[in-house]
Structure 1
Amino acid sequence: MLDACADLVDEIGYEGLTTTLLAERAEVAIGSVYQFFPDKRAIVQALALRNMDAYLQRLSARFSNEVFAYWWDGVDAAIDEYIAMHRAVPGFRTLHFGDVVDVHLLDEEQDNNAVIADRLADLLVERFMLGDRARLKFALQIAVEASDALIKLAFRRAQHGDESVLIEAKALIREYLHRHVS
């Protein structure tokens, strides 16, 4: 059902999504949809959580398999994975981590981008033994917000992301983080 949801969101957007359309696309009875999800928001929340898990798994795999000379190379990898998911993961370009539905879709206490910044801080602290986690988390929250906005701009400008905007986004984020976290 989540795969069907992702495809539908790409085709018709969140506003056009209905549980009836989802049931038809997933080739299940409407009762089966309601057995697992009370409404379309819950379905999209499950998809957003799956996207976040996939993103963090992809990023963890890169952190395990690649050698990064500096911590900001890990940030570049995080941006690269976010861009790759925009290009390849059904539903991601429209939903991202659920902010289209609710900025608190992933966590009631923090907004979606803060959740991502927090998880990224965990990875960076673990991998690079960075000391001031609070300062890093604050800087990452700003960096995630800025990179999210710029990546969305790149994908509004071009189907697969305007490469010039993506290059500038990475340069801006790297410079900002280098100045505030070093």
Structure 2
Amino acid sequence: MTEVTETSGPRLRRQPQQARSRARVEAVLTAADRILTTDGYEALTMRRIADDAGVPVGSIYQFYPDKGSVVSALGERYIGSFEAAIGALVAQADRGELTDMVGTVVDVYADLFRAQPGFVTLWSGRHLSPELARADEANNAAIADGLRRIMESLTGRPGGELMERATRIMVRVADTVLHDVFRADGEADPELLTELKRMMRLYWADLQAELGSGPQG
């Protein structure tokens, strides 16, 4: 795939203060998401976004200096949905309601992938530009931190080096498999979700045994 060298300035040139401006920014991001879903990353241009959003292209530049900044803002919106999901799962674990951590976490994130096809398209091209790589790392770090908090709640132990490593590994493995399950260029393969849960449950069981056997390190 052709490398994109476009750089990104600030995510927003200025914050929208009025309701009309906020609605315009939302329309721009919604249009960008729709274009990603239907036509892919290469079709995402400022002119195309303006046409799909029904706004003058000049009005987009009032808030976003280039395509890269639109992508960054859209990526942050996707990340926000993942962070909200992990926050809800942490609260569920704290209440003692998370009886199947692996199954629940995988299902929740699979639902997010399923509901946000633009996210899949965007992340499948994360090597194209620096802003996509940064967004990808931020997303994985946020999920790993949430998973660590869930593990701390379930085990009653503070996170240590072992738990930190484990959450990073689990997130990277799950991220790779979920992108394969919901790949933008083909049909979803739900059987991969079953195998992902099987593998992660075995890893989690082994990790629980090790965490309970002595100090982490």
Q: TM-score, normalised by structure 2?
A: 0.68
44, 57, 60: which one aligns with 2:87: 60
Aligned residue for 1:136? 163
| SS of 1:139 mapped into structure 2 | helix
What is the number of residues matched between the two proteins? Answer: 176
1:125 has 2:130 as partner? no
Identity of aligned residues (%): 31
Written as runs of structure 1 = structure 2, the 5 A alignment for 1:35-114 is: 35-64=62-91, 67-69=97-99, 73-96=100-123, 99=126, 101-102=129-130, 104-106=133-135, 112-114=139-141
Q: Deviations over 1:48-96 (max 9, x none)?
A: 1111111221333344457113xxx334322212210121124122124
CA distance in 2: counterparts of 1:23 and 1:142, whole angstroms: 40
CA distance in 1: counterparts of 2:107 and 2:31, whole angstroms: 26
Q: Contact between 2:37 and 2:121, CA under 8 Å: does it hold in 1?
A: yes
Q: TM-score, normalised by structure 1?
A: 0.80
Write the letter of the residue equivalent to 1:85: L
CA distance in 2: counterparts of 1:104 and 1:137, whole angstroms: 21
CA distance in 2: counterparts of 1:158 and 1:9, whole angstroms: 15
Q: Contact between 2:124 and 2:179, CA under 8 Å: does it hold in 1?
A: no
CA distance in 1: counterparts of 2:169 and 2:124, whole angstroms: 16
Q: Contact between 2:90 and 2:149, CA under 8 Å: does it hold in 1?
A: no
Q: Which has the higher contact order (CA 8 A, sep 6+)?
A: 2
- Return the offset for 1:16: 2.1
Mark the runs of 5 or more structure 1 residues left unpaired by the alignment.
Answer: none
Q: Contact between 2:89 and 2:150, CA under 8 Å: does it hold in 1?
A: no
| SS of 2:182 mapped into structure 1 | helix
Write the letter of the residue equivalent to 1:99: R
- Return the offset for 1:143: 1.0
CA distance in 2: counterparts of 1:97 and 1:42, whole angstroms: 18
Higher CA-based Rg: 2
Q: Deviations over 1:6-28 (max 9, x none)?
A: 11011121122111111111111
Written as runs of structure 1 = structure 2, the 5 A alignment for 1:24-39 is: 24-39=51-66
Mark the runs of 5 or more structure 2 residues left unpaired by the alignment.
Answer: 1-27, 212-217
